[in-house]
Amino acid sequence: MKEKLIELIADLKLSEAEAFADELIQQGIEAQDLYDIVMEGLNEIGKKYETGECYIADLIVSGMIAKNIFAAANLHQGGKTWLKPVGKVLFGTIFDDIHDIGKDLMIDALENKGIEVIDLGVDVKVEKFIDAVKQHQPDIIAVSCVMTNSIPYLQELGNALEREHLLENRRFLLGGAVVNHDYVKIPQIDFMTNNFYEGLRYCEVFLEEKNKGAKNE
């Protein structure tokens, strides 16, 4: 049973996967078990993406399948996951940039992994990022940028975060097409990538280590 759903998700059989998940829900599958199975399916897609066997559009479809199954099982309520969030990411597209497709894709994937996301939207001014970091105390600040004209605001944000001592015990992450330009050198940024899975894995690994550290304290 478990294998069948994993396979249907990995093969991106949207309606079949959802129908089969519905059957499992009717049969009373435990929420955690269903969640774990869907995650395994998504991991399969992730592996295929990394080896070039599938494309970004497939990732979008896999995210849709996960979202629909979670919705059918009532695993997400009001955009919040029912599981205890494993961490908090503050996300926004930098000032003067209104592109949000990549940002939203990343946000869906993070939420599907049980990570809480605060979405500041697009065209976000440096001051708004700073205020939100103070208010929400995220584990990770994730910024999206595809416009080369917006690069100076990324540096401004890095400087402001450092000046206000807001980078301690958290990570500052950049994604979007600008990371292709090797002149983007912002010392405060911990990691940058325009690879969806690399970004997701970076967040997961950091949060796992942070949570382990908190338990051992």
Which phi and psi angles does 198 have, rounded to 5°?
-60, -40
Query: Considering the rule CB under 6 A, would residue 97 count as an interface residue with ligand B12?
Result: yes
Binding segment for ligand B12 (CB under 6 A), chosen from 14-22, 130-138, 142-150, 157-165, is 142-150
Length of the chain equals 217
CB of 135 to ligand B12, least distance (A): 20
Task: Report 173-202 residues binding ligand B12 (CB under 6 A).
Answer: 173-177, 193-194, 196, 199
Query: Considering the rule CB under 6 A, would residue 117 count as an interface residue with ligand B12?
Result: no
Rounded to 5°, the CA angle 111-65-206 comes to: 30
Query: Considering the rule CB under 6 A, would residue 103 count as an interface residue with ligand B12?
Result: yes
Query: Considering the rule CB under 6 A, would residue 172 count as an interface residue with ligand B12?
Result: no
Dist. CA 205–CA 196, nearest whole Å: 14
Amino acid in position 46: G
What the block records as the tokens of 126 is 């440096």
Task: Report 44-73 residues binding ligand B12 (CB under 6 A).
Answer: 56
What b-and-e string marks burial along 181-198, b requiring 16 or more CB atoms within 10 Å of the CB?
eeebebebbebbbbebbe
Which phi and psi angles does 143 have, rounded to 5°?
-125, 135
The string of DSSP letters for 14-30 reads: HHHHHHHHHHHHHTT--
Residue closer to ligand B12 (CB basis): 102 or 138:
102
Query: Considering the rule CB under 6 A, would residue 170 count as an interface residue with ligand B12?
Result: no
Options 36, 101, 164, 213; binder of ligand B12; rule CB under 6 A: 101
Query: Considering the rule CB under 6 A, would residue 19 count as an interface residue with ligand B12?
Result: no
3-state secondary structure of 124: strand
Size of the site for ligand B12 (CB under 6 A): 27
Binding site for ligand B12 (CB under 6 A): 56, 96-103, 105-106, 142-144, 146-149, 173-177, 193-194, 196, 199
